[in-house]
């Protein structure tokens, strides 16, 4: 295959695709809006599943590197009622199929696996237009253009490539999360650290929930879920950290102090993260010379599958292109049909939503039991 592949977005999915193409001798360039790999924090822990994300890493020849960044013990799970009662305390015995890694560490593994110059930093896609016969022109916000015969949108929820294929746009799913961080947790925040344990904590109730991970360097990273419309959050001044923290904590009045400490004791200003999703079963008709992967293709409510699916998308697209080097359209059709089915199945297998009456500790235990987890 002699047609260079143009990938928009240096997230996990786009980088996995670039790695697969590199292994198969197919030239590719990744254009990324961020100015450098360290331009911003890359998020928290990811559980990389043996049935999708790890399959992608195996195809990419990166399992040895992956094992070096796994955080031991982080597959432990605790489910607590809001009064602090522990209903499930599941240890990490090392046999689970979802080892945890820091997103930034995994991204670096993928970046290190690519030839120098594969990623062009500081290239934010602006206007993209079809030129006919499967060719597209990308104009970058800072100037410059590129014309390509194969364009891949790996550019996330607000993809600039998606409109070439679909009129769908992400919609607010009815709840948001507020992120907090507690540093040096065992010494400075011992009650919260004990509540979280060695891995993940979930303390749910209908309409409200606290999730927390024990990350590396003795850090607790919490996601405080609240099911309210966007204008409810707009009334909170997140520029005033103390006021915002107090207002969010107010929604958890009466909860155990070791749980509310994950809000009130934050060492960083709380960060609001509104959550969006594309319509369930999102798909498009085949358009020559362009496709999507990851959140650009199938953004959904957080369910632990997003990063895994993005990497598997990238791996399978790379394999399809390598299998059909003289027939891009056959490769894209093969890839898309499998991806549409896979992403739809992931949505139907989600945990009870935060606004569900089953969003309780016992309700989640029942769900885990039903799924054999």
| Angle in degrees, CA 232, 234, 238, rounded to 5 | 120
HEC per residue, 341-372: HHHHHHHHCCCCCCCCCCCCHHHHHHHHHHHC
| Element holding 69 (H helix, E strand) | helix 63-69
Known binding-site positions for FAD: 47, 103, 295
φ/ψ bin of 126: left (φ > 0), alpha (ψ from -120 to 50), beta (otherwise): alpha
Q: Are 154 and 293 in contact (CB under 8 A)?
A: yes
> How far, in Å, CA of 228 to CA of 173, rounded?
10
Alpha carbon 193 to chain centroid, angstroms = 25
Q: Are 291 and 334 in contact (CB under 8 A)?
A: no
> How far, in Å, CA of 353 to CA of 225, rounded?
11
Known binding-site positions: 40, 47, 103, 295
Q: Which residues contact 261 (CB under 8 A, 6 or more apart)?
A: 182, 189, 191, 192
The 3-state DSSP class for residue 114 equals coil
What letter does residue 229 receive in the DSSP assignment?
A: -
Known binding-site positions for NADPH: 40
Q: At what angle do helices 241-250 and 257-264 cross, to 10 degrees?
A: 150
Reported in sequence order, the residue ranges of 264-364 that DSSP labels E, i.e. its strands, are 271-277, 290-292
Which is it for the CA torsion 189, 190, 194, 197, positive or negative? positive
Rounded alpha-carbon distances, angstroms, from residue 332 to 223, 229, 280, 312, 371: 37, 38, 21, 15, 33
> How far, in Å, CA of 106 to CA of 87, rounded?
32
Gyration radius from the chain CA atoms: 21
């Amino acid at each position: 295959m002699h047609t260079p592949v143009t990938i928009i977005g240096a997230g996990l999915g786009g980088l996995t695709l670039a790695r697969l193409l590199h292994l198969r001798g197919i030239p590719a360039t990744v254009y990324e809006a961020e100015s450098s790999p360290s331009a911003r924090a890359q998020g928290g822990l990811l559980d990389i599943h043996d049935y999708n994300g790890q399959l992608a890493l195996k195809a990419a020849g990166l399992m040895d590197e992956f094992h070096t960044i796994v955080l031991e013990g982080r597959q432990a799970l605790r489910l607590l009622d809001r009064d602090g009662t522990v209903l499930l305390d599941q240890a990490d015995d090392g046999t689970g199929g979802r080892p945890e890694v820091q997103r930034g560490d995994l991204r670096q593994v993928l970046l290190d696996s690519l030839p120098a110059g594969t990623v062009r930093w500081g290239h934010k896609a602006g206007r993209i237009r079809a030129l006919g016969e499967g060719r597209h022109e990308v104009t970058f916000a800072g100037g410059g253009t590129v014309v390509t015969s194969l364009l891949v949108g790996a550019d996330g929820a607000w993809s600039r490539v998606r409109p070439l294929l679909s009129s769908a746009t992400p919609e607010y799913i009815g709840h948001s999360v507020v992120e907090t961080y507690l540093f040096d947790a065992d010494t400075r925040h011992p009650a919260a650290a004990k509540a979280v344990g060695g891995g993940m904590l979930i303390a749910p109730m209908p309409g409200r929930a606290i999730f927390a991970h024990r990350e590396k360097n003795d850090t607790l990273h919490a996601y405080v879920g609240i099911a309210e419309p966007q204008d409810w959050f707009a009334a909170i001044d997140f520029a005033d950290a103390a006021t915002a923290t107090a207002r969010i904590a107010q929604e958890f009045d009466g909860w155990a102090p070791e749980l509310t400490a994950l809000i009130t004791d934050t060492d960083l200003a709380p960060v609001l993260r509104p959550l969006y999703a594309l319509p369930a079963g999102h798909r498009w008709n085949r358009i020559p010379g362009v496709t999507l992967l990851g959140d650009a293709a199938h953004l959904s409510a957080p369910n632990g599958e997003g990063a895994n699916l993005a990497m598997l998308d990238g791996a399978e697209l790379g394999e399809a292109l390598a299998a059909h080097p003289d027939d891009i359209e056959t490769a894209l059709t093969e890839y898309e049909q499998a991806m549409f089915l896979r992403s739809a199945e992931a949505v139907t297998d989600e945990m009870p939503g935060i606004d569900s009456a089953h969003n309780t500790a016992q309700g989640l235990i029942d769900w885990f039991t039903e799924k054999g987890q």
